[in-house]
A and B are shown apart, each in its own frame.
Chain A
Amino acid sequence: MSIASRLEPGAVVVPTLAEGRQPRPAEDSTERVNRLEIVVRYALYIVITLFLFVPFVMTVLSSFKTSAEVIAFPPTFLPSVWHPENYLNVLTQISGFPRMVFNSFFVTFVVVALNLFFDSLVGYAFARLEFPFKNTLFAIMIATMVIPGFVFIVPRYIMLLNAHLVDTYFAFMVLYFLQPAYILLMTQFFKSIPRDLEEAAIVDGLGWFGIFWKIILPLARPALLATGILTFQGMWNNFLDWVIYMQSPTMQNIQLGLVSFRGQYQNQWNLIMAGSVLAILPILIIYVAGQKYFVGGAATSGMK
């Protein structure tokens, strides 16, 4: 309970990095000391950047090499000959690759759509409506968010098995049609919207669903984007649930497909790297476009 109640609504939006937070001490420093300090400082930033980013650069470069060159010793940095056809080979050599891409996109889009609707609907009720057991339900939701997911895996698997939903897309729709972390995110957002608009609508005789659908949702764009982007990331990157609940070879997503390809062709490093680039590409595009919404993800990851 205490953990999630600390997630503030402000956490949804990226910090704007306000200027001048740490006033630089203007004490004794001569020009030279200052300059040295700046060099040391930037060296540190650059080392960290290399540390966190170079593996990605090398992955992209490796995806254009021959498999022998990827693990050649001594190593090469740039490919000696560029092999863009590696990407074509991924599409043709990994059996069922188009189907995996479809599975990934389909499940991700459906789950995102379900969450946009249900997370905001439930979030709206918690934020604005008065109904019996509201506070109890909200407290339950917060408290159960910290239950480790592995506790639920076996029973959910057996339940889905008995309902004949294992190995079907419906498994994901049942398990992820809403996510408490994003209900919480929506609730906090709705609490920040002024009530005037709804009050006018009540007088106009618009029902509660009408108010939610026509007046509130259009205002909730930032929170909906955050929910959508974070759900996209979670579903696109999901591996565990596909391993547990999907069993037939046609029901693999791109992540699982990459793992089984690597299991079959351990030495095709260039194709493994090209496949990795393809698997990260959609989420990378979304990250670059919607960076600020990922802060909320920081607050909610690990709580599912």
Chain B
Amino acid sequence: MSRLAQSLLLVLLGGAVLRISLLSTTYLNYVKPGFRPFLVAAGLVVFVLGAVGLFQEWRGKASAGHSHGPGVAWLLGLPVFAIFLIAPPALGAFAARSEEAPARPPAVALDAYGPLASGQVTDMPLSEFIGRAWGDSGRSLAGRPVRLTGFVVPSKKKDRWYVARIQIACCAADGIPLKVAVLDADRPPENTWVEVTGTWIDPELEELPQGTVAPELTATSVTVIPAPVEPYE
């Protein structure tokens, strides 16, 4: 790999990273929002490193020796290709694999859930809904209307579909699907983002099931919304 190719590759890679982090919000499809400053800094360092190399090449002042870089570095072109060509979207219904039991969200201390206001609709993240449905012996969800936001995942069972969202801790590789079964409503197309308003269906068991089934919700209204800027929970 010649010095010129090395420098150009660095400029392209740095440019790709700056494009998804500094110039747009595409980076939110891959990592947590807090990553932005680090991505911008890293992209700048790589970009400047390549630009300085190009500048020296142009002045014909390439440093002596070691003019050939490692061949494996060509592979760095792959993420550049992926970013510009596939422009991978946020994880969706395929990653939420419809019939698999949803993973239990990381435990939150149960007393962190306050009582819900009665008589008005409460907006709620899916993780809180699942946490309350599974982990709250006080059954604080019973009879309280809530509004959940997520994308549509079909179910094999006829009477339901899922509203789902991926929870990430750091990047999309550690995503955990969160799913709530929606009953009594027609299913919009797969992967559509929706707001579902409804109430929890109390399974009326002595012991609440721990993470083996998705909690159920009977819907009163389903509204199609545009995909949010921040796709993960």
The answer to whether A binds B is no
